[in-house]
Amino acid sequence: MKTNDPTDCGERPDGWPVPLRGVTESIVATYGPNDRWNMAALGLHAPTAPDEPVTATTWGNTRTKRNFHRQNSGVIQFTDDPREFVAAAATIYEQPEPVLDASHAWVAVEATPIDQGTDGGTEWIKWELQPDVEGATVRSTVVPTINRGFGAVIDATVAASRLDVPAFETAVLLDRLEYFAETVEKCGGPTEKEAFDHLTEVSEWRSYDRK
C-alpha cells in the first residue's frame, strides 16, 4: 500500500524524478569558473518526513563545494553505469554540458548550506537541495536487477576517496578495497570490471603502504 511518506519505495519527494530511500547515489554536475560542468558523485539523503528536504554533504574543499558556493545550483543525475561513477568520484571529470549520455533521469537543484563542521580535520558542509519542479526529466526507465559487482564498485569509490583523509585508517580502507576487487571479479560484468580497473589505475590504491 502506498503512502505519502517519501521514504516509501512507491513514492518520491516532490519535484524529484525518482524515489529516494536512505542514501541514494547520484552524479551532480556543477558549473565551474572555467565554463565547464564538473561531474562528481554525491549521496542524496532522503527525507524522513514529507515536509523535510533532500540533503547532501560535501567533504573537503572539493569542486562541488566551491561551485555550490558560487552558483548555489547544480544538476542531479541518476545512472546505472558504474564507469560514470568511477570517473565522477575518482577523477577530474568535466564536460561542456551538464547531462551525461548515460543518465536515465535528472533535475536541476538549488543548493543551500544549512550546517557545517569538521570531522577528523576535514571540513564538511550539509546542503539542502530544492528541485526545480518544472525541470525534472526522465529519459528512460530500466527493469531493476541486482548485480553485486555494481554495488562493490560504488562502495569502492567511497573507500578510495578516503585514502588520504586523516580521519580514516589506510589499512582498513585497503582491506575493503581488496574485498570489493574480489567481489567485482566474481560477480561483476564487463562494465563493472572496466570501471573497477579504472578506479584502481587512477587511485593507485594497490601501491599504498598499509602502515
Q: Is the pTM of this model over 0.85?
A: yes
Q: Of the candidates 199, 208, 165, which has an alpha carbon nearest to the alpha carbon of residue 180?
A: 199
Phi, psi of 10 (to 5 degrees): -95, 0
Say yes or no to pLDDT of 181 above 90: yes
Q: Which residues contact 20 (CB under 8 A, 6 or more apart)?
A: 6, 7, 12, 13, 44, 46, 47, 54
Query: What's the rounded mean pLDDT across residues 59-75?
Result: 97
Domain regions of the chain by residue span: 23-138, 148-207
pLDDT grade, residue 149 (50/70/90)? very high
Q: Identify which has the larger pLDDT, 48 or 88.
A: 88
Average pLDDT, the chain: 92
Say yes or no to pLDDT of 7 above 60: no
CATH class of the structural domain 23-138: mainly beta
Say yes or no to pLDDT of 87 above 90: yes
* Fold observed for domain 148-207: Methane Monooxygenase Hydroxylase; Chain G, domain 1 (1.20.58)
Per-residue confidence (pLDDT) for residue 116, from 0 to 100: 97
| The C-alpha cell that represents 72 in the structure block | 548555489
Q: Sign of the CA dihedral 150, 151, 152, 156?
A: positive
Per-residue pLDDT tens digits for 30-40 = 999 999 999 99
| The C-alpha cell that represents 34 in the structure block | 572555467
Per-residue pLDDT tens digits for 126-147 = 999 999 978 799 998 887 777 8
Q: Do domains 23-138 and 148-207 have the same CATH topology?
A: no
